[in-house]
């Protein structure tokens, strides 16, 4: 999954021959999972049609303040467009439009939207060689960057005039890559490695039956997604679950048993900066596993169990600079038990949730948690979606680690 997933991207198109590439750019943004709207200068419609762009973006295309063919004359609100966007990408950006942007001119809806936008703005210049090298164009570049706009460098190649040189708009794939890398470079967990466990473990009784629990893994998967969206490289060790995640910063390692999870976690812990163990690991497993399916013979049946390895405690014993987070699911004396785990397992933070709280626990999309820090701060939260709980958790970890 791209870092652009679910981003609202406003694509501005100006009147340059490179506008033919804008259709491909829309498709790449959509493929990355972004929501795309297009705003055009009136003259750019001579190079690429609004119909093409609206079909690809699945949204109306804006090129004027009103629809002149509509008797109702509904105003296309440039302020709303600017506020909707998480990113505004102007590609191609002609010398004419850049000069107007640099000097605050506002004679079309694209420029009005640019002046209203509160989001990061990227511009990809496209023009002939002599225009690109002209001092006035260089002055526009300098002024636009001084405003905080981000220039996507033009490429070198054959230009519309037949000249060969600088001024060719960056290829759509390069524009998407530039924006993704720029966003990642600014994220607070860029360069950090986060180890996360999720889901249940299954402990075999025989080849058919197992001891397990009702954990869906959703909480751990939401934490992994949130950490990756903050720029972290995530290793997600998960027990059996139907949850799915596709993200280019997340490596998923499926396991079955507590022993499997123990081994995988220990492989990756030393190279991790943060470890968040949200999996519901079995505390016990059958001491002897039958090779064949056990037949139903007796009225009662006894299984001898033995303790599994305590993964969280084992990490607390060997941790160096890692920030270690555990989860505690309790049914009684919740705070007391959670504080005890925090101390005995050498944790930096523990996330407590109680099966007494309606809407919390296994198999639901919500959770109600209490964060307890190693300095004994207790932070109670209302019932929230697990996605929001994941965001709250990562925000607190960032605060605690000053990342």
What number is the average pLDDT over the span 273-294? 95
Final residue in a domain of this structure, among 170, 186, 202: 186
Average pLDDT along the chain:
92
Q: Work out the angle between the directed axes of helices 22-31 and 50-57 (0-180°, nearest 10).
A: 10
Question: For 19-65, how does the pLDDT look when each residue is reduced to its tens digit (9 = 90+)?
Answer: 999 999 999 999 999 999 999 999 999 999 999 999 999 999 998 87
Which of 186, 208, 240 is where one domain is finished? Answer: 186
Question: Do residues 252 and 390 share a domain?
Answer: yes
Nearest-CA neighbor of 402 among 321, 339, 335, 302?
321
- The span from the CA of 396 to the CA of 197, in Å, is 18
Residues recognised as catalytic:
213
Contact by Cβ (8 Å): 57, 30: yes
Residue 39: which region, alpha, beta or left (left: phi > 0; alpha: psi -120 to 50)?
A: beta
**2, 30 Cβ separation under 8 angstroms:** no
What range does the domain containing 20 cover? 8-186
Contact at 8 Å (CB) between 280 and 200?
yes
> pLDDT tens, 358-369?
766 676 788 899
| One domain for residues 208 and 167 | no
Q: What is the pLDDT of residue 164?
A: 73
Residue 40 covered by a domain:
yes
171 with 244, same domain?
A: no
Q: CATH number of the domain at 284, please.
A: 3.40.50.10300
- Looking at residue 299, its pLDDT comes to 84
- 8 Å CB contact between 197 and 277: yes
Residue 97, domain member (yes or no): yes
Give the C-alpha separation, 373 to 227, whole Å: 19
**302 burial via Cβ count (<10 Å: 0-12, 13-18, 19+):** exposed
313 and 170: one domain?
no
**115 DSSP 8-state letter:** H
As a whole number of angstroms, the distance between CA 150 and CA 186 comes to 13
Whose tokens are 């909707």? That residue is 84
- Label residue 240 by pLDDT band (50, 70, 90): very high
131 and 271 housed in the same domain: no
> pLDDT tens for residues 189-205?
999 999 999 999 999 99
Domain match, 171 and 298 both? no
At 285-334, the pLDDT tens digits run 999 999 999 988 888 889 999 999 999 999 999 999 999 999 998 777 88
Provide the pLDDT confidence category of residue 73 given band limits of 50, 70 and 90: low
pLDDT at 74 over 70: no
Please give the average per-residue pLDDT across 380-384, as a whole number. 92
Total domains present in the chain: 2
């Amino acid at each position: 999954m791209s870092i652009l997933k679910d981003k609202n991207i406003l694509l501005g198109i100006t009147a340059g021959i490179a506008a033919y590439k804008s259709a491909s750019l829309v498709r790449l943004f959509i493929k990355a999972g972004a929501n795309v709207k297009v705003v055009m200068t009136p003259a750019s419609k001579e190079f690429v049609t609004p119909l093409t762009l609206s079909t690809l973006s699945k949204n109306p295309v804006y090129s004027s303040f009103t629809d002149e063919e509509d008797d109702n004359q509904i105003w296309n609100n440039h302020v709303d467009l600017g506020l909707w966007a998480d990113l505004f990408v102007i590609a191609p950006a002609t010398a004419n439009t850049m000069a107007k942007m640099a000097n605050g001119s506002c004679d079309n809806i694209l420029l009005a939207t640019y002046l209203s936008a509160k989001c990061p703005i990227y511009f990809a210049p496209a023009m002939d060689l002599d225009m690109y090298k002209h001092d006035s164009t260089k002055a526009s570049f300098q002024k636009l960057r001084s405003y905080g706009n981000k220039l996507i460098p033009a490429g070198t190649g054959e230009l519309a005039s037949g000249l060969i040189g600088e001024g060719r708009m960056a290829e759509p794939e390069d524009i998407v890559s530039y924006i993704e890398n720029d966003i990642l470079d600014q994220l607070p967990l860029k360069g950090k490695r986060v180890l996360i466990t999720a889901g249940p473990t299954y402990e075999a009784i025989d080849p058919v039956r197992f001891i397990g629990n009702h954990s869906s893994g959703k909480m751990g998967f939401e934490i992994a997604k949130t950490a990756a969206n903050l720029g972290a490289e995530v290793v997600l060790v998960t027990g059996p679950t139907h949850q799915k995640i596709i993200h280019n910063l997340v490596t998923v390692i499926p396991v079955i048993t507590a022993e499997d999870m123990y081994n995988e976690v220990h492989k990756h812990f030393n190279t991790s900066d943060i470890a968040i163990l949200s999996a519901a690991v079995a505390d016990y497993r059958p001491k002897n596993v039958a090779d064949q399916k056990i037949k139903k013979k007796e009225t009662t049946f006894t299984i001898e169990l033995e303790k599994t390895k305590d993964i969280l405690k084992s990490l607390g014993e060997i941790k160096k600079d890692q920030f270690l987070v555990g989860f505690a699911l309790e049914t009684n004396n919740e705070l007391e038990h959670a504080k005890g785990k925090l101390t005995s397992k050498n944790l930096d933070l523990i996330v407590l949730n109680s099966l007494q709280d309606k809407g919390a626990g296994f198999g639901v999309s919500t959770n109600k948690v209490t964060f307890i820090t190693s300095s004994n701060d207790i932070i109670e939260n209302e019932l929230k979606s697990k996605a929001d709980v994941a965001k709250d958790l990562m925000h607190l970890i960032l605060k605690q680690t000053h990342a």
